[in-house]
Amino acid sequence: MRGRPMTPPPKTARQIAFDVLQQWRQTGKFAGPLLETAFSRTNNLLPADRGLSSELVYGVIRRQATLDAVLKPRLKRPPDQVEPPLWTLLQLGTYQLLFFSADSHHASVHETVELCRWLEKSRWTGFANGVLRSVQRDISDKPANTAAADTIPIRPDQFLSLASPLMPDPGSDPNRYIASAGSLPDWLVENWSSRYDFEELLRMAMWFNTPATTWLRANPLRTDGEQLVADLAAADIDATFDDSQQMVRLGSSTHVPSLPGFGDGHFTVQDPSAASAARLLAPVPGQQVLDLCAAPGTKSTHLAELMENRGRVVAADSHPGRLKLIAPAATRLGLS
């Protein structure tokens, strides 16, 4: 029986990103838990490096179709005939070239070649360097503000200009452009194209490909929103308190468990729309509440916080395995 191919223990942000992407492809497991496991095994990894690993992993997963469309014309063989780890490396390097600033392009190519050496695949170095330099040459600094065969939407209302038409022509084949440049599945684009016009489809693709804002729900048993912002600011974390939402918004993505106050139960990550459910219910101390879709416990712990840890919350879910996540979350938040 063949096991997972052995690779050196990952130590840097890019090594971790590569290793997690390989595990994700081989096992089908969710990327989030794989990242957390990798971080727990790596000592002295700075928050910025954790953020870089996360961006690379989620970015490559989100924009696979775009990356493949840029890479395929540069190869003399189909992608399925390229060693899977090498293809992952090419995707990692291409993602950085397309979506990171031009100032980092040299480092993006160099670090990808170094990953080949880390994997003890010196025969890949010339190939990877050549392919990525070719991608780099195809990136133009010409301003672009609309969909075209030589532009890639990289953020809402922001396009990257290319030196050659690598994408399908949106004028003659709008659905293929959305699927390739916007990285949406073909079947989904075909389904939605009967209901939405091209511009709306492109906006939706960018919405799905834009990392969600991270919101924190302050635990009133330990702190409040304004104090949480002050604590984060003391650690040079950009955060603002949204009074209308009663939530704290982080200015950029970060590794949440490493934030000050997480281990002490000062906050929980939750989207404002999800947090509104418990607030609309408005439970009071001493009540009993049944949460029938409770895992992983974000709502249940919110209900308990609003009840000032006095009363009873019964948490149920159709996935017994995920129910196991609730008890540790409640303990961290000081809920009994």
pLDDT in tens, 138-170: 999 999 999 999 999 998 889 999 999 999 999
Position 165 scores a pLDDT of 96
> Looking at the predicted structure, is the pLDDT value of residue 3 above 70?
no
Domain boundaries, the chain: 13-137, 151-209, 215-332
Is the per-residue pLDDT at 67 higher than 60? yes
- Per residue in 91-139, pLDDT (tens digit) is 999 999 999 998 999 999 999 999 999 999 999 999 999 999 999 999 9
13-137 under CATH 1.10.940.10, yes or no: yes
257-268 pLDDT, tens digit each: 889 999 999 999
CA-to-CA distance for 333 and 336, rounded, in angstroms?
A: 9
What is the average pLDDT score of the chain? 93
Measured in residues, the chain has a length of 336
pLDDT band at 320 (very low <50, low <70, confident <90, very high): confident
| H-assigned helices in 13-104 | 13-27, 31-40, 47-62, 64-71, 84-99
Q: Are 109 and 136 in contact (CB under 8 A)?
A: yes
Superfamily holding 215-332: Vaccinia Virus protein VP39 (3.40.50.150)
Q: Contact 217/196 with Cβ under 8 angstroms? A: no
In the chain, helix, strand, coil percent, each to 5?
50, 10, 40
Confidence of residue 6 (pLDDT cuts 50, 70, 90): low
Could you tell me which residues are beta bridge partners of residue 250? 239
> What does the pLDDT read at residue 77?
87
Q: Backbone phi, then psi, for 218, in 5-degree steps?
A: -65, 140
| Mean pLDDT within 323-335 | 95
Q: What is the structure's pLDDT at 157? A: 86
Query: pLDDT above 90 covers what percent of the chain?
Result: 81
> What confidence score (pLDDT) does residue 240 get?
96
Q: What is the DSSP string of 195-219?
A: TS-HHHHHHHHHHHHSPPPPEEEE-
How many CB atoms neighbour CB 325 within 10 A?
A: 16
| Residue 73 to residue 56: CA distance in whole angstroms | 23
Average pLDDT over residues 5-13: 79
What would the two tokens of residue 75 be?
């190869």
Predicted confidence (pLDDT) per residue in 179-227, tens digit: 999 999 999 999 999 999 999 999 999 999 988 889 999 999 999 999 9
| Per-residue pLDDT at 244 exceeds 60 | yes
Whether 53 and 13 have beta carbons less than 8 Å apart is answered as yes
Three-class SS of residue 261?
Answer: coil
105-118 helix and 122-137 helix, angle to the nearest 10 degrees = 160
- Position 239 pLDDT exceeds 90: yes
Q: At what angle do helices 198-209 and 174-181 cross, to 10 degrees?
A: 10
